[in-house]
Chains A and B, each alone.
Chain A
């Protein structure tokens, strides 16, 4: 016996689905049959034994459905046998239909092929595949039976067949017998083959899917651990850093004892580098939170134009050192739901970059305006611009241009963090640039 496993359960569910689907299909046929009967009553069109056929399908279908519902079986072999048995009734029904539409002359033999498709399509397992061949066998058996009974004269002949001599009749019947046998079994084999192929592909997909889900879970867990690690590491680093900084500044300020000018200079540089280290830790922490999208934004309604004004004012001095001024244009009410600190940080980063990469006497223009429902901020410079092949990398991690340039030393994380922050606001950030003409960094924020 095959031990029940998840694949079997999947198959059981599918066969149950098919059984229900077939029950519905039979009822649909019964419904159509009833309509036809109604139509014949109105038009006095003679239907022969057709109504009895409809009653027959309706009766066994209802019985089968009742048995199915009452049995509550979940064993594979039971369901497969049950399905085979109800399909056998279908084969009988089709044979009946063929019989009264003229046996040899009947066009309805193709319904056997339909049965073969229905019985075998899409299901593959040892039991379920047997089904399609058994249906092919029974279809063949019933059809040939019908034909030979006709030959023996037990079933009356109609139409063209009526005028045949027994010799011609036998020839015709043998002809049909060979043709149907071969075609039924070939058809069954084809359906079997494709169902097998389909099922195997599906099983592979299911397997791959399972593996992916596991991998994704592991990845999430790793990400969470990384976040936790970065968070606690940054906390652990800060405490000794605070002690070092405070001790340095105690000595530097002469609180411990007299310090000469040279010593003071070294202490100041040590203190500044401690601050730099602290900034790096902050950046790392932000990076980790931005990557995992767990950065907590403190969103309040604020005017983006005013905020840009603040950023421009903060950097005006730095721009003046390079003989340029930052131009700021803003229009109207630009209130959006934003974390002011973080948006200001993005603005400062973009403007600071513009100052860095624009030669002396260049121009920097900051514009803030409302586009539809969004608020748009653009920082335009007259720097050397970014080559088209580099544009898509600008917001990447550790992306730096002109690495040799002492002025622009940094981690290349600035724009990556900007992108993360803007996207967490539900906005977009991008750059338009032409080499030699300058760059234009633009971001949007959903307006409130």
Chain B
């Protein structure tokens, strides 16, 4: 691959974002981060990353809304979104899927699983 795939992490917990960033960089991805929902949406629109890892409980705009804004936009609807959150209730999963996310994952997650999911989604593109 000539160009590294860029992945946007939208996560308000700096340590969590940092850990995911290290993991992804070690696996050959380029990582962008955003610390709140609004910033995440702006960066996604500006940079058009190859994939987005999105938290739900975010300042300014929650993950469901960010996902909806992207998935219902012709220009961005093809960017796969992984929702990665500590919310485990079925209602939340349903809301996530309704907001258009491709995969809903709960914290704590297994790194291998996350990587597998990412490569699976990217291969499908």
Footprint of B on A, CB under 8 Å? 231, 234-236, 238-239, 241-247, 249-250, 253, 255-256, 274-275, 278, 282, 285, 296, 298
Kindly identify which residue among B89, B90, B108 contacts A245, using a CB–CB cutoff of 8 Å: B108
- Please, what's the 1-or-0 string for B107-125, where 1 marks a CB less than 8 Å from any CB in chain A? 1111100000000000000
CB–CB A255/B23 < 8 A: yes
CB–CB A253/B89 < 8 A: no
CB–CB A278/B108 < 8 A: yes
Kindly identify which residue among A236, A249, A298 contacts B111, using a CB–CB cutoff of 8 Å: A249
B16 at the binding interface (Cβ < 8 Å): yes
B15 at the binding interface (Cβ < 8 Å): yes
CB–CB B20/A246 < 8 A: yes
Contact A231 to B89, CB < 8 A, known contacts A239-B16, A255-B23: yes
A-B contact pairs, 10 of them (CB 8 A): A234-B88, A238-B86, A238-B107, A239-B16, A242-B86, A246-B109, A250-B22, A274-B108, A296-B89, A296-B91
CB–CB B111/A246 < 8 A: yes
Kindly identify which residue among B57, B90, B108 contacts A242, using a CB–CB cutoff of 8 Å: B108
* Complexed CA–CA distance, A253 and B91 (Å): 34
Task: With both chains docked as a complex, state the minimum distance between the C-beta of A255 and any C-beta of chain B, in angstroms.
Answer: 4
CB-CB nearest in chain B for A297:
B90
Chain B residues contacting A239 (CB-CB under 8 Å) are 13, 16, 86, 107
Known: A231-B89, A235-B57. 6 other contacts (CB 8 A): A241-B108, A242-B16, A249-B110, A274-B108, A278-B108, A296-B89
Task: With both chains docked as a complex, state the minimum distance between the C-beta of A343 and any C-beta of chain B, in angstroms.
Answer: 15
Kindly identify which residue among B22, B86, B110 contacts A235, using a CB–CB cutoff of 8 Å: B86
CB–CB B111/A253 < 8 A: yes
CB–CB B87/A243 < 8 A: no
Kindly identify which residue among B19, B87, B107, B108 contacts A250, using a CB–CB cutoff of 8 Å: B19
Chain B residues contacting A285 (CB-CB under 8 Å) are 88
CB-CB nearest in chain B for A274:
B108
Task: With both chains docked as a complex, state the minimum distance between the C-beta of B69 and any C-beta of chain A, in angstroms.
Answer: 24
* Complexed CA–CA distance, A311 and B18 (Å): 39
* Complexed CA–CA distance, A245 and B107 (Å): 10
CB-CB nearest in chain A for B55:
A239
Chain B residues contacting A250 (CB-CB under 8 Å) are 19, 22-23, 26, 111
Footprint of A on B, CB under 8 Å? 13, 15-16, 19-20, 22-23, 26, 57, 86-91, 106-111
Task: With both chains docked as a complex, state the minimum distance between the C-beta of A291 and any C-beta of chain B, in angstroms.
Answer: 16
Task: With both chains docked as a complex, state the minimum distance between the C-beta of A279 and any C-beta of chain B, in angstroms.
Answer: 10
Task: With both chains docked as a complex, state the minimum distance between the C-beta of B35 and any C-beta of chain A, in angstroms.
Answer: 15
CB–CB A246/B86 < 8 A: no
Chain B residues contacting A298 (CB-CB under 8 Å) are 90
The residue in A234, A235, A282 that gathers the most chain B C-beta atoms within 10 A of its C-beta is A235
* Complexed CA–CA distance, A253 and B108 (Å): 17
CB-CB nearest in chain B for A277:
B108
Kindly identify which residue among A242, A249, A253 contacts B107, using a CB–CB cutoff of 8 Å: A242
CB–CB A246/B108 < 8 A: yes
* Complexed CA–CA distance, A222 and B33 (Å): 41
Task: With both chains docked as a complex, state the minimum distance between the C-beta of A410 and any C-beta of chain B, in angstroms.
Answer: 21
Chain B residues contacting A235 (CB-CB under 8 Å) are 57, 86-88
Chain B residues contacting A234 (CB-CB under 8 Å) are 86, 88
CB-CB nearest in chain A for B16:
A243
CB–CB A296/B111 < 8 A: no
Task: With both chains docked as a complex, state the minimum distance between the C-beta of A322 and any C-beta of chain B, in angstroms.
Answer: 28
* Complexed CA–CA distance, A243 and B23 (Å): 12
Chain B residues contacting A238 (CB-CB under 8 Å) are 86, 88, 106-108
Task: With both chains docked as a complex, state the minimum distance between the C-beta of A400 and any C-beta of chain B, in angstroms.
Answer: 26
Task: With both chains docked as a complex, state the minimum distance between the C-beta of A363 and any C-beta of chain B, in angstroms.
Answer: 36
Task: With both chains docked as a complex, state the minimum distance between the C-beta of A93 and any C-beta of chain B, in angstroms.
Answer: 71
Chain A residues contacting B86 (CB-CB under 8 Å) are 234-236, 238-239, 242
CB-CB nearest in chain A for B57:
A235
Chain A residues contacting B89 (CB-CB under 8 Å) are 231, 296
* Complexed CA–CA distance, A274 and B26 (Å): 23
Chain B residues contacting A274 (CB-CB under 8 Å) are 108
Chain A residues contacting B109 (CB-CB under 8 Å) are 242, 245-246
Kindly identify which residue among B22, B88, B111 contacts A282, using a CB–CB cutoff of 8 Å: B88
* Complexed CA–CA distance, A245 and B16 (Å): 10
CB–CB A243/B19 < 8 A: yes
CB-CB nearest in chain A for B109:
A242
* Complexed CA–CA distance, A236 and B15 (Å): 15
* Complexed CA–CA distance, A250 and B114 (Å): 13
Chain A residues contacting B16 (CB-CB under 8 Å) are 239, 242-243, 246
Chain A residues contacting B26 (CB-CB under 8 Å) are 250, 253, 255
Chain A to chain B: the 6 pairs with minimum beta-carbon distance, closest first: A242-B107, A238-B86, A246-B19, A242-B108, A255-B26, A245-B108
Chain A residues contacting B87 (CB-CB under 8 Å) are 235
Chain B residues contacting A241 (CB-CB under 8 Å) are 107-108
Chain A residues contacting B20 (CB-CB under 8 Å) are 246
